[in-house]
Every structure is written in structure tokens, then in C-alpha cells.
Amino acid sequence: MQYSAIVITAISSVTAVQALGINCRGSSNCASQGNVLTTIYNQILNLNQGIPYVDGQHITCSKNTCAFFQNLPVSNTYTAGDAAGHVKSLLDHGCSACGSDPLDGNDVLNGELTVNWVTSPS
């Protein structure tokens, strides 16, 4: 009986992560970055909006905080223009430093734009 409860709890946890939706979560180091999300948004707006980016590629960084796509389905690329729209959604959601916005619905397994603290900004 307890085994069933553990399995159900584990499955519920996975589903909750997949359905997290737009959020302002990130590394514990995000708090030290200040209101960097606005800077990142403006930097993206100054890029060629048609430039494609692949999974994990840094689009732009400010301090140690970078914007990048992750969990992209194979063969899908997204552009700086796509990134700008998702960072704007994070700003509209009230995020100031870090966060993620799913690309398709609330399932991050379909890809997401993430702004997060990184050890090696590029």
C-alpha cells in the first residue's frame, strides 16, 4: 500500500515540474544580480531578430546571468525575436533576474527560454 503512495507521489512531482509554467525561479545566485532581466531584454532587442539559437547556446548575458533556450525538441531552432518575446513575458510576470517561460504551453519538456545565473557567461 505504501509503495503505491510513493509511486503516485513521484509521478505527481514529475508532472508538477513539467507543468510549472512561466516562473521566476533560478539559481540562488540570482538574487545578487539585481534587476538584470531588463538589461538582458534590451540586449536581445539590439540583436538581429532572425538569428537562430540552438539548445543551451547563450543568447546574451549580463553579469553572470544569461538567456538561453533549453530542452528544445530535435531540429527546432528559435530566434532572438522568439527570445525577446519570452523575456518580455518574464518581465510581465514580475521577474527581475531569473526565470523560465515554456515555449509551448506549460510543459517545459517541449522547450523553454531560461534566464539564469551561470558560471561561465559568454
Which grid cell is 64? 553572470
Q: Please report which confidence band the pLDDT of residue 118 belongs to, taking 50, 70 and 90 as the band edges.
A: very high
Domains of the chain: 21-117 (3.30.430.10)
Per-residue model confidence as pLDDT tens digits over 6-59: 444 344 444 444 567 999 999 999 999 999 999 999 999 999 999 999 999 999
Residue 7 amino acid letter: V
Contact 46, 119 (CB under 8 A): no
Q: What is the 3-state secondary structure (H, E, C) of 2-37?
A: HHHHHHHHHHHHHHHHHCCCCECCCCHHHHHHCCHH
pLDDT of residue 14: 43
Give the range among 12-16, 86-90, 101-105 with minimum mean pLDDT.
12-16
Percent of the chain past pLDDT 70, that is, above it, reads 84
